[in-house]
Amino acid sequence: SADGGRNLSLDSIPMGLPMSDPTAWATAMNNLGMAPMGMTGQPLLPDFDPALGMMTGIPPINPMMPGLGIVPPPIPPDMPAVKEIIHCKSCTLFPPNPHLPPPATRERPPGCKTVFVGGLPENGTEQIIMEVFEQCGEVIAIRKSKKNFCHIRFAEEFMVDKALYLSGYRIRLGSSTDKKDTGRLHVDFAQARDDLYEWECKQRMLAREERHRRRLEEERFRPPSPPPVVHYSDHECSVIAEKLKDDTKFSEAIQTLLTWIERGEVNRRTANNFYSMIQSANSHIRRLVNEKAAHEKEMEEAKEKFKLALSGILVQFEQIVAVYHSASKQKAWDHFTKAQRKNISVWCKQAEEIRNIHNDELMGIRREEEMEMSDEEIEDPSEMKETEESALVSQVEALKEENDSLRWQLDAYRNEVELLKQEQGKASRDEDTTKEQQMKLLQQALQGMQKHLLKVQDEYKKKEAELEKVREDKLKIEALLENLKEQESSTSRVCACSQEKECPVEKTLSNSPVKSEREVLLVGIISTFLHVHPFGASIEYICSYLQRLDSKICTAEVEILMTRLQNTFRQELSGVGASLEKRWKFCGFDGLKMT
């Protein structure tokens, strides 16, 4: 029926399949007065007569036939899209040529719900447009122009995709062939302010929801705030002092003590209380050191247990591997089948690999222990001197710290004396005697502290004098070493001169500036290095390169060798004033001509 065309489903076209009616395309061409063509360009019907309005033998197309919907299901990418004729109440839509490329569209605006429809018939009305496009979805508004185009706004975004499917279709009003009753539809995305505004509102709402969700997540995973620290009072001070002596409550008490000190609760009246609490915190260090030593002892015991267990495992692995090797001998091997031999060989390889891994691990543990023992036993004399010097420095620093602590205690006693003097006039006569005794005791304590302070200062000066003596001795030893080196070089020169007198052949050999194969290698390496640096290099730069090859090479040895070879290496000064720098250059090519 004609009314059924308006209510056709938009998702009922099987686009991945051929046309449901093989003569539908020919019927459409016949109605337009065109010769129907096949996919290869040949006429579909050889007996087609253009004078006839309809072809004989073709049944009329029913709008309710299957395959006449508008929007297809998803199309496989390897199959071409095939469109069919769409019948409406007052018009008919004919599909475009399948060989033509798909119609071009502009970039889709965000939140697009409006489409542009061009190529409408001149006699087309809003009712006809509504009849065609209401099958794509709910139409909110149609704005029609006098120039054969209009804008259609849908209720949802997915309806725009259904409307774009009609782009390229030819429309005919009724059965008329007049140009004013025909047209080619062009459907494209349109940019509308209402669509953009609704899309922005939707995005803002989603962003608000996301922020709210994140805030809830952060609040859920946020750690609870620490409990508030109580204000300082004498009672709370005594409680914290007791907690500082308890290992289980020490961390809480030390945090409270730190907060009180940072708040500025320390004054003349509370200084003694805070000093006693700090002493309790200092005594906790010994407990921590003892606890660390206990843990280290447990770790050493665990290492020993692990080493013993690993050695026992290795013994068992050796026994298993011995079993495999004995089974692989000719006497027993001939009696096994091929599968059994294969399994035995595979098991033997696996056992040997695991045994080697465990053996390497055990050897590594033993090697580490031997290295620790050797580090403890073997110490160079220079390291001994450094340790003595560092011990003296540490003693001096300890004396400095003790000196500072004594000064602080002296200040604290002075403060207490001042407080007692202030309270002396207010107290009664009976209490004067006790205060005088306290004053005497404090004065005696002050005198004792001053004497101790003087002793510490004398010790500090003595230690500094000893430290200076050690430094002077060190400088003297270094000077003696340099003199010994010079004497050795002079004796070597004397020996060389005596050898020159004894035999002329040896004289020619000793006259050469290069005295050993090691120096020849050094000359070659330095020549190669300076050849790469044509502008020269400092002696420190050259020695840093050579020490990568041999850490025993020293700067003095290299400089003496290069000064002997004046025809091979040349020293030049570069820079002015404070930036004056000595650079060595390779001049072997010029020296070859001179020699």
Q: In this predicted model, what pLDDT tens digit does every residue of 56-77 receive, in sequence order?
A: 343 443 433 444 344 445 555 4
Q: How many CA atoms lie within 13 A of 503 on its CB side?
A: 4
- 464 backbone dihedrals φ, ψ, rounded to 5°: -65, -40
Contact 489, 482 (CB under 8 A): no
What is the predicted pLDDT for the residue at 158? 92
For residue 420, with 0-12 CB atoms within 10 Å meaning exposed, 13-18 middle and 19 or more buried, which class applies?
A: middle
Pairing of strands 139-144, 581-586: unpaired
Contact 153, 194 (CB under 8 A): yes
User: What is the per-residue pLDDT across 161-220, written as a single tens digit (0 to 9) for each?
Assistant: 999 989 999 999 888 778 888 999 999 999 999 999 999 999 999 999 999 999 999 988
**Separation CA 488–CA 43 (nearest Å):** 115
Which stretches of the chain drop beneath a pLDDT of 50?
1-72, 77-79, 504-509
| Domain limits, the chain | 86-201, 234-299, 307-368, 517-592
What is the predicted pLDDT for the residue at 385? 57
Residues 130-167, buried b or exposed e (16+ Cβ, 10 A)? ebbbbbbbebeebebeeebebebbbeebebbebbbbbb
Return the SS3 of 37. Answer: strand
**Separation CA 534–CA 528 (nearest Å):** 11
- Candidates 252, 195, 204; CA nearest to 226 is 252
What is the predicted pLDDT for the residue at 376? 58
User: What is the per-residue pLDDT across 92-145, written as a single tens digit (0 to 9) for each?
Assistant: 899 988 888 888 888 999 999 999 999 999 888 888 899 899 889 999 999 988
What is the predicted pLDDT for the residue at 328? 85
Neighbouring residues of 90: CB distance < 8 A, sequence distance ≥ 6: 127, 128, 131, 173, 174
What is the predicted pLDDT for the residue at 500? 54
What is the predicted pLDDT for the residue at 139? 92
Task: Return the residue matching tokens 């429309």.
Answer: 171
What is the predicted pLDDT for the residue at 188? 94
Q: Which run of H or of E encompasses 295?
A: helix 271-327
DSSP result, 571-582: EEEESSGGG-EE
**Separation CA 328–CA 354 (nearest Å):** 19
The CATH architecture annotation of domain 517-592 reads Orthogonal Bundle (1.10)
DSSP result, 410-444: HHHHHHHHHHHHHHHTTS-HHHHHHHHHHHHHHHH
What is the predicted pLDDT for the residue at 569? 86
- 144 backbone dihedrals φ, ψ, rounded to 5°: -100, 140
- 51 backbone dihedrals φ, ψ, rounded to 5°: -70, -25
Contact 150, 143 (CB under 8 A): yes
86-201 and 517-592 share one CATH topology? no
Tell me, rounded to whole angstroms, the distance of Cα 429 from its chain centroid: 76
What is the predicted pLDDT for the residue at 314? 86
DSSP lists the bridge partners of residue 484 as: none
pTM for the full predicted model: 0.31
Residues 94-117, buried b or exposed e (16+ Cβ, 10 A)? bbbeeeeeeeeeeeeeebbbbbbb
Among the four given CATH numbers 3.40.470.10, 3.30.70.330, 3.30.1300.10, 3.40.50.300, the one describing domain 86-201: 3.30.70.330
Q: Could you tell me the CA-to-CA distances from 86 to 5, 82, 309 in Å, in that order?
A: 8, 13, 86
